[in-house]
Amino acid sequence: MNTNKIIERPFIDELRFNLEKTSQFIQVILGPRQVGKSTGIDLFLEKYKKPFFLTSGDEFRGEALSWIKEQWQYALDQGESSLLIIDEIQKIPNWSQVIKGLWDKEIKKSKPLKLVLLGSSSLQLQKGLTESLTGRFQAIRVYHWSFHESLKLNKMTIAEYLKYGGYPGSYTLLKNEIKWNQYIQNSIIETVINKDILTQAQIKNPALFRQSFILLSGLPAQEVSYTKLLGQLQDKGNTDLIKSYIELFEGAFLFKAISKYHPQSLRLRSSSPKIIPLCPALIDRLFYRNKEDHGRIFESCVGARLCQLDIPLYYWRDGDYEVDYVIELKKYLIAIEVKSGKRKSSKSLSEFLKKYPKAKTIFIRPENFEKFDLDPIAYIEKHLN
């Protein structure tokens, strides 16, 4: 891997656009750990031609209000409509209330300061945003590395991506699976669980919470019953507990639970979810030992890419009939079938089209995955007609 090679990720263009067009909002960058948020900011600033000041909560000392006010002043001293970027904002106590007070005064100016916030713990960031900054920010979501980005950085094959993809820092370790696994476990999973989740959420039984992560990581692209999942945990609990755990994993960008498609939203919300690890590196390594499970891995990878699109995403089931993914895009209802390994019967898709005759169909296979991954929306729209 060329460690000096730097890839400009899509969120940088979104940040440029938002700062140019919507300066009345705070820009908040959310995403998993170790996917290049801070590096992306450095790249953005290399081309930024206007005044700015970059600081980090790692440098915080003393009292929150005074420290943030000081950074605010430094930014204003750079020039009119200057940009203030605070990285690791979640490390500053009471940061969201302090930012709220300063921002509400700043935004009344004719040429206010521009503000970007980011940090390594998205769960802590989201908590602060919902507590104090509702209606004052735009969220820019940064996701795990796609196959296309990983290919540009490290010339990965699809097979390698399906096994190791998602965290670019791990790509230097691909030739040593033991060290790669240690990096993912210690630098990613344990850090997220210990620093991001257990320090923020009131979890009475951390051991049970960790066990639930292990169970979910072994269920890629599989529909799970809350009751059955609860029965596999070595402790007492209830389905609400399992739901709350999954919500925490979602907030930390580890898993996504997608619901069964049904026009009646109430029935949709009460369905058993399908679990999508948000990158291949988060799938339990034991799952890779059985070649019959590799189709699920590919299906999960397609689902993780669809999760990055910020559009409604579901699966569909009626008895024994199942469609892998269902999306709503513009005016279309689209059924997506993921085909890998053994030939899949088309009966499920036929049953879906009987119920929803105006729906469109898309097929994703390993042979066309690279084209799909490059720009999923464009690829899907190309094949709708």
Pairing of β 52-56 and β 83-87: parallel
pLDDT averaged over every residue in the chain:
91
| DSSP line for 33-87 | TTSSHHHHHHHHHHH--S-EEEEEGGG--S-HHHHHHHHHHHHHHT-TT-EEEEE
Kindly state whether residues 168 and 57 are assigned to the same domain. Answer: no
Task: Grade residue 366 by pLDDT with cuts at 50, 70 and 90.
Answer: very high
Q: Which domain holds residue 52?
A: 10-141
| DSSP line for 173-207 | GTT-HHHHHHIIIIIIIHHIIIIIITTTS--S-HH
Kindly state whether residues 187 and 74 are assigned to the same domain. Answer: no
Tokens of 342: 């053994």
pLDDT of amino acid 3: 45
**HSE toward the beta carbon, residue 265, CA cutoff 13 A:** 1
What backbone phi and psi angles, to 5 degrees, belong to 13? -65, -40
pLDDT of amino acid 267: 54
The enclosing domain of 15 has a CATH number of: 3.40.50.300
Using only the alpha carbons of the chain, give its radius of gyration. Answer: 22
pLDDT of amino acid 21: 86
* Greatest Cα pair distance in the chain: 66
Distance CA 18, CA 26 (A): 10
pLDDT of amino acid 236: 66
Q: Which residue has the higher pLDDT, 382 or 330?
A: 382
pLDDT of amino acid 40: 95
Task: Grade residue 1 by pLDDT with cuts at 50, 70 and 90.
Answer: very low
pLDDT at residue 248 above 90? yes
Q: What is the mean pLDDT of residues 262-285?
A: 82
Kindly state whether residues 45 and 182 are assigned to the same domain. Answer: no
pLDDT of amino acid 139: 95
What would the pLDDT profile of 148-181 be if each residue is shown by its tens digit? 999 999 889 999 999 999 999 999 999 999 999 9
What would the pLDDT profile of 287-339 be if each residue is shown by its tens digit? 888 877 888 999 999 999 999 998 999 999 999 999 999 999 988 999 999 98
Q: Which residue has the higher pLDDT, 228 or 102?
A: 102
pLDDT of amino acid 345: 64
pLDDT of amino acid 53: 97
Kindly state whether residues 203 and 296 are assigned to the same domain. Answer: yes
Distance CA 124, CA 113 (A): 24
Kindly state whether residues 78 and 219 are assigned to the same domain. Answer: no
Residue located via tokens 């009751």: 227
Q: Distances in Å between the alpha carbon of 378 and those of 79, 173, 310, 318?
A: 40, 33, 14, 30
Q: Is the dihedral of CA 281, 283, 285, 291 positive or negative?
A: negative
pLDDT at residue 101 above 60? yes
* Residue that finishes a domain, picked among 119, 141, 163: 141
pLDDT of amino acid 363: 95
Distance CA 170, CA 112 (A): 40
Task: Grade residue 234 by pLDDT with cuts at 50, 70 and 90.
Answer: low
Kindly state whether residues 58 and 200 are assigned to the same domain. Answer: no
Confirm whether 115 is domain-assigned.
yes
**Residues paired with 335 in a beta bridge:** 326, 361
Kindly state whether residues 20 and 73 are assigned to the same domain. Answer: yes
Confirm whether 5 is domain-assigned.
no
Which of 56-65, 266-275, 298-307, 330-339 shows the lowest mean pLDDT across its residues? Answer: 266-275
Any idea what DSSP says for residue 167? -
Kindly state whether residues 98 and 210 are assigned to the same domain. Answer: no
* Residue that finishes a domain, picked among 141, 166, 195: 141
Task: Grade residue 7 by pLDDT with cuts at 50, 70 and 90.
Answer: confident
pLDDT of amino acid 57: 94
pLDDT of amino acid 265: 60
Confirm whether 355 is domain-assigned.
yes
pLDDT of amino acid 355: 94
Task: Grade residue 269 by pLDDT with cuts at 50, 70 and 90.
Answer: low
The sheet with strand 274-277 has its strands ordered as 222-223, 274-277, 255-260, 313-318, 321-329, 332-338, 360-364
Tokens of 224: 């799970």
Task: Grade residue 249 by pLDDT with cuts at 50, 70 and 90.
Answer: very high
Q: What is the mean pLDDT of residues 262-272?
A: 66
Kindly state whether residues 33 and 134 are assigned to the same domain. Answer: yes
pLDDT of amino acid 341: 66
Taking each continuous run of H as one helix and of E as one strand, the counts in the chain are: 17, 12
Q: What is the mean pLDDT of residues 117-130?
A: 90
pLDDT of amino acid 315: 96
What would the pLDDT profile of 190-225 be if each residue is shown by its tens digit? 999 998 899 878 888 888 899 999 999 999 999 988
pLDDT of amino acid 241: 86
* Residue that finishes a domain, picked among 141, 157, 190: 141
Q: What is the mean pLDDT of residues 375-380?
A: 96
Global confidence as pTM: 0.91
Quote the number of domains for the chain.
2
Q: What is the mean pLDDT of residues 39-50?
A: 95
Kindly state whether residues 80 and 173 are assigned to the same domain. Answer: no
